[in-house]
């Protein structure tokens, strides 16, 4: 296995000049753009545009970071297309609203980038997948020579951490992602699927916006943490390994990294990754707070079948809806892969409020990820948390 390089550079803010200089150093540390691209090629910058959030909320890849990478590519002579398939329906109207709110529309106008509005999907055969034999991806990817992943450093309620590998899940259009969640609710299977997706359309380069990250109940309801780091690699699996170590997350506890090691995309040894640029020790960060993750199928085969349902309901993490914050938009019900969220009129509220049937909940926490007002919390039993640490 060739020793991959991961480049780390500092940026204390989202000041364009500072970020651009850091991005230039990242590119130099990886050998320069000419090692990967040719002038005239079309490059798809695959952002993390999970949900319609302002840049300062730290949920999506910051537009200044995107602009810095895009400008470097444009100066090299490449054509830059920006896009993602956010959570929920994949429509031109919703894309336009997300591009505007997330600050992407503005930087595209300033730098002359193309925003993707092609919402079609295309189904392809997966030759070396472990759980996927075929995959539906954004048709726009067929019109480019390369994909670059522009991820955001965040924790994740189901996967513990989300970075370069999981960012590629967004090439699956719209609500088809919910179908994948429903068909593969077990954490091991789902993380294998994420690695299948990344390896199917492996990004030529991966850049991570870690200037401000998110800890706790990520990827959309957590707390912002100043990290001051930008990370890049031609190997998304190695990037995730180093990013986790940088913020005090044990990489070997992250399901996508576990699967990457099992499939020999990564050795799992820090010494087998070449670090370029700033040293990890120079950041001196307090470890990120991470959510405890527990497979929805944890009890199957461990306890009598008649106890699986009751123990899952009482001991596994579960979504809890704050009806005072909830605006009754209905998004949680639309994106729920298991379709277990219903809306009922509740005393004191004029609009229907969400309730989840936990007997069918697959603990994917899409409802929490995609709630626009952070009205969904993940409640974890103290007894369950202790049990799953044993």
Delimit the domains of the chain by residue range: 5-282, 305-389
Residue in this structure with the two tokens 């943490």, named with its chain if needed: 225
Joined together, the tokens standing for residue 16 give 């364009």
pLDDT of residue 349: 82
- Dist. CA 240–CA 109, nearest whole Å: 31
* pLDDT band for position 388 (cuts 50, 70, 90): very low
pLDDT of residue 380: 75
For the chain, what percent of residues have pLDDT higher than 90? 83
> Comparing 227 with 360, which gets the higher pLDDT?
227
pLDDT of residue 298: 47
Q: What's the mean per-residue pLDDT of the chain?
A: 92
* pLDDT band for position 307 (cuts 50, 70, 90): low
Least confident segment among 130-144, 273-287, 358-372: 358-372
pLDDT of residue 284: 87
For the chain, what percent of residues have pLDDT higher than 70? 92
Give the architecture-level CATH label for domain 5-282: 3-Layer(aba) Sandwich (3.40)
Residue 238 has pLDDT above 70, yes or no: yes
Same fold, 5-282 and 305-389: no
Residue 1 has pLDDT above 90, yes or no: no
In this prediction, residues 225-239 reach a mean pLDDT of 98
CATH class of the domain at 305-389: alpha beta
pLDDT of residue 297: 53
Q: Which of 181-185, 274-278, 297-301, 348-352 has the highest mean pLDDT?
A: 274-278
In this prediction, residues 167-187 reach a mean pLDDT of 93
- Dist. CA 255–CA 261, nearest whole Å: 10
Joined together, the tokens standing for residue 11 give 């940026």
Residue 379 has pLDDT above 90, yes or no: no
* pLDDT band for position 382 (cuts 50, 70, 90): low
Contact between 374 and 220 (Cβ < 8 Å): yes
Residue 300 has pLDDT above 60, yes or no: no
pTM listed for this prediction? 0.91
Residue 299 has pLDDT above 70, yes or no: no
Q: What is the pLDDT of residues 68-116, one digit of tens each?
A: 999 999 999 999 999 999 988 999 999 999 999 999 999 999 999 999 9
- Dist. CA 318–CA 48, nearest whole Å: 25
Q: What b/e readout covers 304-328, taking b as 16+ CB neighbours within 10 angstroms?
A: eeeebeebbeebbbbbebeeeebee
Residue 66 has pLDDT above 80, yes or no: yes
Q: What is the pLDDT of residues 252-273, one digit of tens each?
A: 999 999 999 999 999 999 999 9
């Amino acid at each position: 296995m060739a020793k991959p390089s991961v480049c780390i550079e500092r940026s204390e803010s989202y000041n364009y000049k500072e970020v651009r200089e850091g991005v230039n150093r990242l590119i130099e540390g990886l050998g320069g753009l000419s090692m990967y691209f040719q002038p005239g090629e079309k490059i798809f910058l695959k952002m993390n545009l999970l949900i319609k959030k302002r840049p300062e909320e730290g949920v999506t890849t910051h537009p200044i970071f995107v602009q810095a990478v895009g400008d470097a590519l444009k100066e090299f002579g490449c054509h830059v297309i920006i896009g993602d398939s956010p959570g929920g329906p994949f429509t031109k109207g919703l894309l336009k609203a997300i591009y505007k709110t997330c600050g992407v529309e503005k930087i595209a106008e300033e730098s002359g980038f193309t925003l993707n509005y092609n919402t079609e999907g295309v189904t392809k055969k997966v030759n070396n997948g472990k759980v996927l034999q075929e995959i539906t991806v954004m048709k726009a990817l067929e019109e480019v020579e390369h994909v670059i992943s522009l991820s955001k450093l965040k924790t994740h309620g189901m996967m513990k951490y989300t970075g370069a590998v999981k960012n590629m899940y967004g090439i699956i259009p719209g609500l088809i992602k919910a179908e994948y969640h429903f068909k593969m609710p077990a954490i091991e299977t789902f993380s294998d699927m994420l690695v299948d997706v990344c390896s199917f359309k492996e990004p030529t380069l991966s850049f991570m916006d870690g200037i401000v990250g998110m800890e706790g109940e990520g990827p959309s309801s957590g707390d912002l943490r100043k990290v001051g780091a930008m990370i890049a690699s031609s190997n998304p699996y190695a990037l995730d390994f180093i990013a986790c170590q940088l913020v005090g997350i044990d990489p070997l506890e992250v399901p996508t990294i576990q699967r990457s090691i099992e499939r020999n995309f990564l050795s799992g040894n820090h010494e087998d990754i070449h670090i370029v640029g700033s040293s990890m020790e120079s950041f001196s960060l307090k470890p990120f707070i991470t959510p405890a993750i527990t497979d929805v199928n944890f009890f199957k085969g461990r306890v009598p079948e008649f106890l699986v349902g009751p123990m899952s309901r009482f001991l596994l993490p579960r979504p809890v809806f704050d009806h005072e914050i909830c605006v009754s938009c209905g998004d949680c019900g639309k994106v729920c892969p298991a379709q277990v969220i219903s809306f009922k009129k509740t005393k004191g509220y004029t609009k229907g409020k969400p309730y989840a049937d936990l007997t069918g909940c697959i603990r994917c926490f899409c409802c929490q990820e995609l709630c626009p007002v952070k009205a969904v919390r993940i409640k974890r039993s103290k007894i369950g948390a202790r049990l799953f640490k044993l």
